Structure 1
Amino acid sequence: MKENKYDDQKFFEEYSRFPRSVEGLSAAGEWHELKKLLPNFTGKRVLDIGCGFGWHCIYAAEQGAASVLGTDISEKMLAVAREKTHAPSVSYQRMAMEDIAFAQDSFDVVISSLAFHYTPDFGDICRRVGDCLAAGGDFVFSVEHPVFTAYGTQDWSYDPAGNRDHWPVDRYFEEGRRDAVFLGEHVTKFHKTLTTYLNTLLKTGFAVTGLVEPQPEPGLLDTVPGMRDELRRPMMLLVAAKKQG
């Protein structure tokens, strides 16, 4: 499924006001852990799938990447990314993740941030990444944690006083479509179990080298609204893998 909610004007305007959209990686609660999983970018050819506003592309270029290609289905996101990016080694291309089809040995590193829960077939993504990644290359990505996606509504359960009572988890082993509400809009996502994420990587020729269920960066707990509640359940899953062979 190739959902392009981010080109909807109302949704895009709401997303553009998100703290991580405005301030970049410094406002991303998982960034302090994700960057530890990233390889040395010096001289590397990098692909960023679902690059959004291009924050990770810019970071890779700053860390010495020889070339960085950011792909995204949203033209509005790419327009902002191009505006923000000044490094000549970074380029952007409009492309759905399901259409990734680059030549063999095109990249040394493939990264992706919070994109793969929008597609139903993670195995297809892994095969496409494996096809264009050099042997021994790095594949590092983040997704919404299966505990976060299982129930579907992606909202807390509230007590009679309106306080956040608990995070509901149900239908965990029933993978597939979930109709979530994000920034006041209905968004289609696809729940997958932790087993599916990890076993799919192993079955498609990758070795898992890192796994993190990140807690928020301590400095953001009292500066970003609602961030302290992120200590109550995992919201994200970070995975690092290497292509074998």
Structure 2
Amino acid sequence: MKENKYDDPAFFDSYSRMPRSVDGLNAAGEWQTFRAMLPSLQDKKVLDLGCGFGWHCRYAREQGAAHVVGVDISAKMLERARNTGSDPGIEYRQQAIEDIDFAPGTFDVVISSLALHYVAAYEVVCRKVYDCLKSGGSFVLSVEHPVFTANAAQNWYHDAAGNRLHWPVDHYQDEGLRHTRFLDTDVIKYHRTTATLLNSLILAGFRINSISEPGPSPELIQKYPEMQDETRRPIFLMVETIK
């Protein structure tokens, strides 16, 4: 199932007002860790799967990437990306992630930030990314953490006074589709165990270099106090791999 909520005007408007949409990568709690996992991008050909507003595409060019391709299913997201700045070194394509079909060895680096939990055919994407990377190329990805996606409600357990007591984990081994709520909208995501997420990369041929489950930095919490509770449970799983 290829859902595209981001072209819904109301959803897009709500998403556009999120801190990471307004302030970019510096407002993303996981960015410092994700950036540290990236290889040198100098003179590299880079593919960004689920590029959204193009923040990572522009960052890659700032780091000297020779050419960047950003893929996203949302026309509205890509329109915003194109309108943010003109750069002949960035090519945006409207396409579902699982439909990519690049020639073998096209890219040096493939990145995907918080997009693959929307994709049903994760294993297929892993194989396609492996094929389109050059030997020695890097695939760096982040997804919502399985602890976060296991329970479809994706919400804290509260006491009678409304205080957050804990984050419930349930149906962890029951992989598959989840009907969730995000920005007051019904959104489909896909839950996978940590083992499935990692083993799919290994079976595709990748070597895993590092794994991270980052929380927001103290500086970011000070700027965005609502992120304080992100230290109580993992929300992101990030993986750095090599072909």
Q: Structure 1 length as normaliser, TM-score? A: 0.97
- Equivalence for 1:155: 155
| Deviation digits for residues 12-57 of structure 1 (CA, Å, limit 9, x no counterpart) | 0000000000000000000011100001000100000000000000
SS at match of 2:139: strand
Cα offset for 1:225? 4.3
Query: Which 10-residue stretch deviates more, 62-71 or 122-131?
Result: 122-131
Map of 1:3-42 to 2, 5 A cutoff? 3-42=3-42
- Could you tell me which residue of structure 1 aligns to residue 124 of structure 2? 124
Aligned AA (1:215): G
Q: Residue type of the partner of 1:240? A: E
Q: Which residue of 1 aligns with 2:208?
A: 208
SS at match of 1:200: helix
Residues in 2 aligned to 1:234 and 1:219: alpha-carbon distance in whole angstroms: 18
Moved more, 69-78 or 117-126: 117-126
Q: Is the 8 A contact 1:73 1:94 kept in 2?
A: yes
The number of aligned residues is 243
What residue number does 2:102 align with?
Answer: 102
Aligned to 1:144: 144
Query: For 1:219-234, what aligned pairs fall within 5 Å after superposition?
Result: 219-234=219-234
Contact 1:72 1:96 in 2 (8 A): yes
What secondary structure sits across from 1:214 in the alignment?
coil
Partners of 1:182 and 1:219 in 2: how far apart? 26
How far apart, in 2, do the equivalents of 1:67 and 1:85 lie?
15
Aligned partners of 2:240, 2:84: CA distance in 1, in Å? 27
Per the alignment, residue 167 of structure 2 pairs with: 167
Contact 1:51 1:72 (C-alpha < 8 Å) held by counterparts? yes
What letter is aligned with 2:193? T
Q: Which amino acid aligns with 1:99?
A: D
Match of residue 89 from structure 1: 89
2:46 is aligned to: 46
In the TM superposition, residue 83 of structure 1 has moved relative to its aligned partner by 1.1
Residue equivalent to 2:61: 61
Which residue identity lines up with residue 96 of structure 1 in the other structure?
A: A
**Separation in structure 1 between the aligned mates of residue 14 and residue 139 of structure 2, nearest angstrom:** 30
What is the deviation of 1:207?
A: 0.3
Distance 1:121 1:91 in 2: 24
Contact 1:210 1:239 survives alignment (8 Å): yes
Seen in structure 2, the aligned counterparts of structure 1 residues 225 and 3 have a Cα distance that, compared at 3 Å, is: farther
Gap regions ≥5 residues in structure 2: none
Write the distance in 2 (CA, Å) between the matches of 1:95 and 1:172.
30
**Deviation at 1:222?**
2.6
One-letter identity of the residue aligned with 1:114: L
The one-letter code matched in structure 1 to 2:139 is F
Structure 1, unaligned runs of 5 or more = none
Q: Does structure 2 conserve the Cα–Cα contact (< 8 Å) formed by 1:167 and 1:233?
A: yes
Q: What's the CA shift for 1:6?
A: 0.3
Rounded Cα–Cα distance in structure 1 between residues aligned with 2:35 and 2:222: 22
* 1:54/1:85 contact within 8 Å kept: no
The separation in 2 between residues aligned to 1:121 and 1:26, in whole angstroms, is 30
For 2:234 and 2:161, the matched residues in 1 are separated by 24
- 1:54-109 CA-to-partner distances (Å, cap 9, x unmatched) read 00000000000000010000000000001113332111010100101111111110
Runs of 4+ more than 2 Å apart: 85-88
Specify the code of the residue in structure 2 equivalent to 1:34.
F
- Residue number in structure 1 paired with 2:235: 235
Could you state the TM-score of these two structures normalised by the residue count of structure 2?
0.98
Q: Partner amino acid for 2:129? A: V
Match for residue 217 of structure 1?
Answer: 217
